[in-house]
Amino acid sequence: MPAEHAILGLLALDGDGAGDGLGYGYDLARHFGDGQPLAAVLRLEPGMLYHHLKKLDRVGWIAADGPAPETRPARQVYRLTPAGRSELARWLGEPVARTREIRLEFLVKLYFARRLDPARAARLLAEQRDRCRRLEGSLEGQLGRGDDGSSAGSTQDRAFLHLVLDLRLAQTRAAIAWLDRASSAAEP
Amino acid sequence: MPAEHAILGLLALDGDGAGDGLGYGYDLARHFGDGQPLAAVLRLEPGMLYHHLKKLDRVGWIAADGPAPETRPARQVYRLTPAGRSELARWLGEPVARTREIRLEFLVKLYFARRLDPARAARLLAEQRDRCRRLEGSLEGQLGRGDDGSSAGSTQDRAFLHLVLDLRLAQTRAAIAWLDRASSAAEP
DNA sequence: GGGATCATGTAACAGGTTACATGATTCA
DNA sequence: TGAATCATGTAACCTGTTACATGATCCC
């Protein structure tokens, strides 16, 4: 899920100002509110954030160091584990499968890829563009054949299916054009 | 939710071949599988379908007539109530608020509007287009101002927010062009 | 008799939303 | 002293997915 990977990303970036993969709930929550850039794409209420932290701890991608002493109110500091770091890298290297996931999950990937490693961001954009291109070709094929997934159907049915495919194609093409703009904005 | 309104729509259309607002689970389920046009947009497993029927019954938009006699295996026939019919009309007259809802909820509305009342479908398309136009204007304004929702942020932050707004604008414009094509395909 | 189809569900789980609960510390 | 902020959660509820349970009837 994008929310959990965003938490891994924030820890990798700079949990609390030291670049050491450390961070705690309240501090991470700040990135998901107000005028923060991530919040333009992904909202995360405190309740869900703490829920995700527990789950990430359970699967071993982050680890709790026990309640931090010397801090009042007591805060629970987490650190990114090697497993968490490699999971983040895997996720950042993988484009999203569906066009509708670009609006949320891909933008989150792009946000972290640009900050952690600009070369990786360029690769991610190129791979996402490839995938969208293939989807575009498949949709064009279906539209050309008047393909409804199986057989005929009424005229009205075929007109509706044409509208559905036409919309998907238009959204996919808009995404491809955007990916191109994003690539060329990053390079020069 | 789109799934529940789709059930109301199927009952209004022709629950089981009589145009009388009657229908039962197994029969409705057929519309959400295989090569059915609705299934290209909305999938509904039997479990969820029966769940929705119970809920629609609870809120009074459909009513169960008691297990139908004379049918074996026994089927539970539901009929659309006046409240359900007016809820369906309300929903069909209302465009969706966000661009991402066009892919699913708007397509479902369009499917039923075209079948129940082509004039209503034309009105729906026009109103959705209006709404998208306004969104487009607002996004253009934000992009022009370099608006990030509050104050400045780093250069990298502003570049990212620019990408986010650019993507939304592109998707909204693709939707507007599609709505135009859908309108002119319906008229002549 | 037995497999396909008709017909209605339940159970278990995964994930999200909203609102509230709890209590310490800081600072005007 | 009391409001804002720091800090961590719980509870209740809704949505959705997958898989399975149950049993009748039709037709070969």
For residue A15, is pLDDT > 50?
no
Mean per-residue pLDDT for B135-150? 82
Point out which residues pair with B187 in neighbouring strands.
none
Mean per-residue pLDDT for A131-141? 96
Integer-rounded Cα radius of gyration of chain B:
21
Helix A155-186, helix B107-116: angle, nearest 10: 150
pLDDT value, residue B152? 61
CB A139 within 8 A of CB A174: no
pLDDT value, residue B90? 94
Task: Count CA atoms closer than 13 A to B75's CA, side-chain side.
Answer: 14
- Range name among A20-24, A162-166, A168-172, A180-184 with the lowest pLDDT average: A20-24
pLDDT value, residue A151? 52
Structure tokens at B106: 């708007």
Nearest residue to B38 via CA among B110, B88, B92: B110
- pLDDT band, very low/low/confident/very high, at B16 (cuts 50, 70, 90): very low
Cα–Cα separations (whole angstroms), residue A79 to A54, A56, A109, A147, A162: 13, 11, 20, 51, 51
For residue A188, is pLDDT > 80?
no
What is chain A's mean pLDDT, rounded? 88
What is chain B's mean pLDDT, rounded? 88
B80 three-state secondary structure: strand
pLDDT value, residue A16? 42
Which residues from chain A sit within 8 angstroms of residue B149, using beta carbons? 34-35, 39-40
pLDDT value, residue B15? 46
Q: Which residue of B has its CA nearest to A105?
A: B164
Question: What residue type is B135 in one-letter code?
Answer: L
Q: What angle do CA A163, B127, A148 make, to 5 degrees?
A: 10
pLDDT value, residue B94? 94
Burial class (CB within 10 angstroms; exposed 0-12, middle 13-18, buried 19+) of A3? middle
CB A57 within 8 A of CB A49: no
User: Residues at the strand D interface (CB under 7 A)?
Assistant: A 24-27, 29, 46-47, 50-51, 53, 71, 73-76; B 1, 3, 43-48, 51, 55, 72-73
Which residues from chain B sit within 8 angstroms of residue A100, using beta carbons? 100, 103
- Asked if A159 is an interface residue toward chain B (Cβ–Cβ < 8 A), one would say yes
Q: What angle do CA A100, A106, A108 make, to 5 degrees?
A: 130
For residue B18, is pLDDT > 60?
no
B66 three-state secondary structure: strand
**Nearest-CA distance from B154 to chain A in Å?**
10
For residue A152, is pLDDT > 70?
no
CB A77 within 8 A of CB A68: yes
